[in-house]
Amino acid sequence: MTSPVYLDYNATAPLRPEAQEAMLEALDHVGNASSVHAFGRKARLWVEEARKEVAKATGAEVEEVVFTSGGTEGNVAALHGLPGTSVLVSATSHNSVLKNVTAHAFLPVHPSGLLNLEEAEKQMASAPRPFLVSAEWVNNETGVIHPVAELQALVKKHGGYLHLDAVQALGKIPLTLRPDLLTLAAHKIGGPQGAGALVIREGVPFVPLIKGSHEKGRRGGTENVAGIAGFGAAVRHMTFADAAWRDEMEAQLLRVPGARIVGQEAPRVANTTGLVCPGLKAEILVMQLDMAGFAVSSGAACSSGKVTVSHVLQAMQCPESEQFSALRISFGWKTQKIELDSFVKSWTELALSAIR
């Protein structure tokens, strides 16, 4: 390829031109959305139009949508928004969940990556009351779609509350389920970084993380009008990826001896591939691919010269020989098929060279 290829949409997606246009218009306007004069009313209009878009995309009532600074804030607010509850957390949850709660229990997953509902129900049955179950709708590393309808039925059966982290689900699958709490982020769908939402189902006894008079008392702080406007525009124009592109790419990647797609046997979103191949080192491949013009993520987190194996792969009981080789390839609205074909060619050459 003559120009760099971006295949890390699950980290953040390129800003959609419609979102940029909405943000620039809002940035050019002065006015606090809480002010009653004409300037404030115009700013409020952008916020409320975006709220309608988010509500429509999630099947929620407009009044249930609370704007936040992003997925992390939404998750933390949900986890701490029901004081006195014990919390049960999916073992493959995002770190914004795992690092911000003391869980009563971690709900295990099958080797496929899907939640183990039988074990989850056992944990619910023994959990101190009241309880909250928190799980990701779609896993950010593997793209696995959890059986959330079945999970919700179990939570209701045992009288608990359900929080779903839908940050990686929005714009990839229809959000047809209405949990008690739902987290969203703008930048995964081509909106701006620093904007998100927490959808709080009517009747849930939610206590705000940030107290104040904004967002009907559910989230204090002046609204990020430009970010929210961009979020609304991104939701309005979001499109789903083509699974045929992913499947064709994966079929070619699997020609390399030892290569495997993590979670391939489970339902997955169309834009995400978790690729492992024993004998390869992900941190080296990420750098080599970057030099070749391809941006992808490693399944391992690197910091201070140390490599930490993904907790998702560990929870899925992936062999240790695979755990340090994991790559995540994720694409979206701006991706061209030729870019995926070029990536396959480069990765295959690097992998075969390393294996030899």
Over residues 331-346, the pLDDT tens digits come to 999 999 999 999 999 9
Q: Model pTM?
A: 0.96
**pLDDT, average across residues 164-183:** 98
Q: For residue 260, give every residue at least 6 positions away whose Cβ sits within 8 Å of its Cβ, in sequence order, or none.
A: 254, 275, 276, 277, 322
Query: What is the structure's pLDDT at 221?
Result: 97
The 10s digit of each residue's pLDDT in 222-281 is 999 999 999 999 999 999 998 999 999 999 999 999 999 999 999 999 999 999 999 999
Active site residue 277: no
Domains of the chain in sequence order = 5-13+240-355 (3.90.1150.10), 17-237 (3.40.640.10)
Banded model confidence at residue 178, pLDDT cuts 50, 70, 90: very high
Share of the chain above pLDDT 70, in %: 97
The predicted pLDDT at position 302 comes to: 54
Q: What is the pLDDT of residue 1?
A: 47
The answer to whether residue 70 scores a pLDDT higher than 80 is yes
Which one is catalytic: 243, 302, 338, 352? 302
C-alpha dist (Å) from residue 99 to 92, 95, 111, 153, 194? 12, 6, 23, 27, 19
Dihedral, CA atoms, 219, 220, 225, 228, nearest 10 degrees? -20
- 300 pLDDT more than 70: no
Cα angle value 51/56/57 (rounded, 5°): 100
Per-residue pLDDT tens for 209-222? 999 999 999 999 99
pLDDT at 26 over 80: yes
Average pLDDT of span 86-113: 96
> Is the distance from CB of 343 to CB of 23 less than 8 angstroms?
no
Structure tokens at 240: 């789903």
